[in-house]
Structure 1
Amino acid sequence: MIRFEHGKYDFNNNVDFCVGTGRMGLALQQNYLEQLALVQKEIGFQYIRGHGLFSDDMSIYHEYENEDGEIRIEYNFTYLDLVMDAYLQRNIRPFIELGFMPNALSSGEQTIFYWKGNTTPPKDYEKWQQLIQATLRHLIDRYGLEEVITWPIEVWNEPNLAGFWENADREEYFKLFKMSFLAIKEIDRRFQVGGPAICGVDDVSWLQDFLEFCQKEALAIDTVTRHLYTIDNPEKQGRYSYVTLRDPVECVDELKTSREIIDSFNEFKHLPMHITEFNTSYSPDSPIHDTNQNAAYIAGLLAQLGETSASYSYWTFGDVFEEFGVPFTPFHGGFGLVANGNIPKPTFWTFVFFKKLKGACVYKGEDAIFVETKDGGFRGVIWNTSEQVLKKSILLPERNQSFFFMEKRVDQEVCNPLRVWHEMGEPSSLTTDQKELLRSAASPLILTKELSIEQTSIELPVLPHGVTYVECYPIKRKSDRGFNYQKINEVHIIHER
């Protein structure tokens, strides 16, 4: 039984603070911007974070030899301006990730991904600092200081993985962080700078050592960042990775440990911790991402992540994404909330629903969360991660008027574009009609009813791997003169013989 209680539950709902993207250069593609526009219309994230700001496809950093044989540096912000303009036009701002290394500034040839982001330290740290400062100053000149200093900054990505940072060299990353931090703060100390952007590999010792380094070097960091993925050891078949989900309790405990480490330092106690990437699988070839199971599992996380973290950025908003190359099919296990073809996945709706949960939390359980609205109504989300139908009963608050009640269902029966695509024959190239059908199949089922004053409870079944959004508010009926809904439904056809 869901019974509403005031003042008992904490719910720090920051579901819309930030969302992930692939490398920034993808923002030059039309399909990318169409998916972002859909996400912003229905959800409306504040910030967007992605890789590759300084990678060669953004073409910012250049070295050339002048007539005297001296090496000179020049910067090209043409693509950066296009990307930033596109973001701001869609009412989203960058959560800046400093990386990867321009090839001309790199100390080695190690790269990662299909698009070959260089993951080695700079050959010259002074030039690295100059690159950071030149980029920030350009952004300030273009968009204004008071705007740009609100854009959070994170130094690098997952340096505790050898693929993302050569040899996962801890001391070298600490140097990179210090030099980057100082370069940013020299421009304006109000910039919010954080790291170490680690994933869950040896994360305890990495975070401890990072904070000890910042303490020793008197680096007054503004935020701490890390990532969260909830699978282990995927099974590879062809181009796909099949996964088993971890117990959500284990995942939340991992974050609690990080929170405890941060709070153990007097200098950093209570600093905001941002999860700058999270999802179920860490691989963009995992069919779990396209499923209703993913939507229900993520709902359970969204109800809890705010307990430890200032934000939690889903990786990613869309499937225009090329770490392993260009996808072969519209449903390929990509990270995105939106499949190629601008088709919302079930998890898309989990975010839409949680965005609406603004207000005092009056119920928080292992499979449901509800808030009270200003008009005396309520909104809530119920999720079912089991293989059986979940039956929930909501005890309605006492009231002296009728209520409008609405539920939106997302489950394997009514909002499952992956299943419809499979039943189509899994076409790799969708026709216009097929895209329209899949978009229609990707919408929740909406059910409504009027609740009388006498009704004290309502029963809600949630199908396996389903997510249901509930909204209820007082009816303030103002009928037009002569309009009689009951009379409309009493119309009979007269048959003359």
Structure 2
Amino acid sequence: MKSFIWDINDAVKPLKPYWNMCVGSCHAATALRQDYREQLEKCRRELGFRYVRFHGLFDDDMSVLTHPMMGAQEELTVSFTNVDSIFDFLLSINMKPFVEIGFMPECLKSKDTTIFHYKGNTSRPASYEKWDWLIGLFAGHLIDRYGLGEVRQWFFEVWNEPNLGGPDSPFGFWSDTMEEYFTLYSHTAGALKKVDARLRVGGPATSNNAWIPEFLAYCRETDTPVDFISTHHYPTDVILGYGVEDSQNFMTPKEGESMEQFLERRKEQHKRLWEGVDRGVLTKMTKKAVEEAQGLPVYYTEWNSGAGLASDGPFGSSFILKTIMDSAGLVEGYSYWTFSDIFEEGGMPYQPFHGGFGLLNLQGIPKASYRAFQLLYKLGDEIYEKRGADGTVDVYAVKKEAEHAVQFLAVNHHSLLHDISEEEISIRLTGVSPVKATVERLDVTHGNALARWQEMGEPDYPDRQQLALMEAASFTKEETADIKDGTIALTLPPMGAALITMYL
């Protein structure tokens, strides 16, 4: 039995819900879909997300900048019609865009390099003069349509993960150098600030917390404006080495290696990745990035466990809860990638559960990860400074004055490929006599639609009845808990979590 004790008068500090400040989604064109919009509105209503971020705002499927069909090749046509449709919708559901600037419109490209099924162009502009002109038109249009006061509340992030790629790489988001990305950032920031100096712009939008010191040094040396730092991370980054010298060992075929051999090697590498991933690794990364940001606000505009099918079940939910609670107070925003499996970077998926990034599956059924964010959304706004930690169990205590309650979020989590077992725990609150208590569980038998799908034989295209059964299995419920002398005892399965509320 692992025992944890708090006193009602122990020190507390504010708990800011930085985890629902923003959420990620597939590329911009998917935001024109009705099912996408219905799922995002559900996430806004039930999880409280306030901003959304996506790639591809300037991709050709958005028709922002094109050559006229019957015109001369040097002519350009600008249309913000699709952009307006998306941003109008976001504001209508009380959300705002976290604007990612990219990718390159075909008619401004300097290379033919693209990424993903939807072929976002990853090159720098052939003409920075024309790029500056486009960014200025874009910012001016937003202010004309939505008002200066509104657009000043948005964020403008330049590009996505420019450290993945390079001039000689067939993969990645940026087909040029770090220095050339800094040039792109400088032009983009300058064009935005020329329209209004108070528009918020930042970068370097890198994977694996990369380039932050180099980016800030460049901005200082060139007097380039920067209002915030943005970056991304996944727990396996510590093994893959994205953004550092050994990244090409994973990202690029070896000399003489066929594509089939390369993909098989990547598959085998993935199986072993988690052996070297410590629990809580993202919090360690975050602390380092905050230190490197030199006082600027930090926004993680992409993060996830990246654990494949395990991320759709209890591992994914316990990973989310531990990571978010351990990192509370470190950054301004933490944008989970993504809210939905309506996601076509490799083409549109078809299986209801396939290890996609989303909190909701293709049909809008909540995964265990979605339920984790629901538990977080129920928390109060003061967290006790004291934290309980014993082996693979962490307990976080939160005051919720609005309901005259103290909440305890208990999580039994470990990294994949590491030993973890069921744990018996007790939680005691002293200095007061709770009148009743409830518990809401999230584990292999609670809030686990993945398990129900697997029990069905993993149908690729489930019928309505099967979908209804998976939806029913996705729910958690608040139950009355036995409490005696301010103490509750319960069992936490491996990768399980429970939200205990003691009412005073």
TM range (shorter): 0.7 to 0.9
SS of 2:4 mapped into structure 1: coil
* CA 321–372 in structure 1, closer or farther in 2 if over 3 Å, else same: same
Deviations 1:31-89 (A, max 9, x none): 2122212211210101001100000111111234998x683332112211211122222
State the distance in 2 between where 1:236 and 1:411 align: 33
Aligned partner (choices 24, 28, 52) of residue 24 of structure 1: 28
- Provide the residue aligned with 1:225 in structure 2: 230
- Provide the residue aligned with 2:461 in structure 1: 429
Aligned partner (choices 477, 487, 491) of residue 461 of structure 1: 491
Unaligned 5+ runs, structure 2: 166-170, 241-249, 251-261, 415-419
Aligned partner (choices 404, 412, 417) of residue 384 of structure 1: 412
Q: Is the 8 A contact 2:161 2:174 kept in 1?
A: no
Deviations 1:107-150 (A, max 9, x none): 11000001100000001112111211212222222221111110
Aligned partner (choices 279, 288, 305) of residue 304 of structure 2: 279
1:456 deviates by 2.6
- Provide the residue aligned with 1:479 in structure 2: none
Q: 1:85 corresponds to which letter in structure 2? A: D
- Provide the residue aligned with 1:14 in structure 2: 18
Q: 1:418 corresponds to which letter in structure 2? A: L
- Could you tell me the TM-score, scaled by structure 1's length? 0.86
State the distance in 2 between where 1:42 and 1:65 align: 44
Q: 1:128 corresponds to which letter in structure 2? A: W
> 1:287-302 to 2 correspondence within 5 Å?
287-302=309-324
| Farther-moved stretch of structure 1 (6-15 vs 312-321) | 6-15
State the distance in 1 between where 2:422 and 2:13 align: 26
- Provide the residue aligned with 2:417 in structure 1: none
Matched, 1:337 2:337: no
| Farther-moved stretch of structure 1 (58-67 vs 416-425) | 58-67
- Provide the residue aligned with 1:178 in structure 2: 186
State the distance in 1 between where 2:34 and 2:423 align: 41
State the distance in 2 between where 1:350 and 1:364 align: 19
Q: 1:109 corresponds to which letter in structure 2? A: D
1:250 deviates by 3.4
- Provide the residue aligned with 1:473 in structure 2: 503
Q: Once superposed, what is the RMSD of the aligned Cα atoms?
A: 2.4
> 1:192-211 to 2 correspondence within 5 Å?
192-200=200-208, 203=210, 206-211=211-216
State the distance in 1 between where 2:39 and 2:287 align: 33
1:10 deviates by 6.8
State the distance in 1 between where 2:73 and 2:451 align: 61
Deviations 1:369-392 (A, max 9, x none): 121121541123211115312222
- Provide the residue aligned with 2:246 in structure 1: none
Q: 1:383 corresponds to which letter in structure 2? A: V
- Provide the residue aligned with 1:410 in structure 2: 442
Q: 2:6 corresponds to which letter in structure 1? A: F
> 1:218-257 to 2 correspondence within 5 Å?
218-231=223-236, 232=239, 244-245=273-274, 246-257=277-288
Deviations 1:278-311 (A, max 9, x none): 00118xxx21221211111121110122343211
1:357 deviates by 2.1
| Farther-moved stretch of structure 1 (183-192 vs 7-16) | 7-16
State the distance in 2 between where 1:238 and 1:331 align: 24
Aligned partner (choices 163, 174, 177) of residue 169 of structure 1: 177
* CA 236–442 in structure 1, closer or farther in 2 if over 3 Å, else same: farther
State the distance in 2 between where 1:86 and 1:116 align: 25
Matched, 1:365 2:388: yes
| Farther-moved stretch of structure 1 (159-168 vs 307-316) | 159-168
State the distance in 1 between where 2:429 and 2:328 align: 27
**Larger Cα-atom Rg:** 1
State the distance in 1 between where 2:34 and 2:162 align: 32
Deviations 1:251-302 (A, max 9, x none): 3222222222222xxxxxx1101101000118xxx21221211111121110
- Could you tell me the TM-score, scaled by structure 2's length? 0.85
Q: 1:250 corresponds to which letter in structure 2? A: V
Q: 1:319 corresponds to which letter in structure 2? A: D
- Provide the residue aligned with 1:77 in structure 2: 80
State the distance in 1 between where 2:44 and 2:265 align: 34
Matched, 1:189 2:217: no
Aligned partner (choices 24, 36, 57) of residue 40 of structure 2: 36
Aligned length: 458
* CA 397–312 in structure 1, closer or farther in 2 if over 3 Å, else same: same
Matched, 1:2 2:24: no
Q: 2:497 corresponds to which letter in structure 1? A: V
| Farther-moved stretch of structure 1 (403-412 vs 189-198) | 403-412
Q: Is the 8 A contact 2:115 2:173 kept in 1?
A: no
* CA 248–110 in structure 1, closer or farther in 2 if over 3 Å, else same: same
Q: 1:181 corresponds to which letter in structure 2? A: A
Q: Is the 8 A contact 2:124 2:175 kept in 1?
A: no
SS of 2:20 mapped into structure 1: coil
* CA 129–347 in structure 1, closer or farther in 2 if over 3 Å, else same: same
Q: Is the 8 A contact 2:280 2:326 kept in 1?
A: no
1:344 deviates by 0.5
* CA 65–322 in structure 1, closer or farther in 2 if over 3 Å, else same: closer
Q: 1:371 corresponds to which letter in structure 2? A: V
> 1:445-460 to 2 correspondence within 5 Å?
445-449=477-481, 451=483, 455-460=485-490
* CA 469–157 in structure 1, closer or farther in 2 if over 3 Å, else same: same
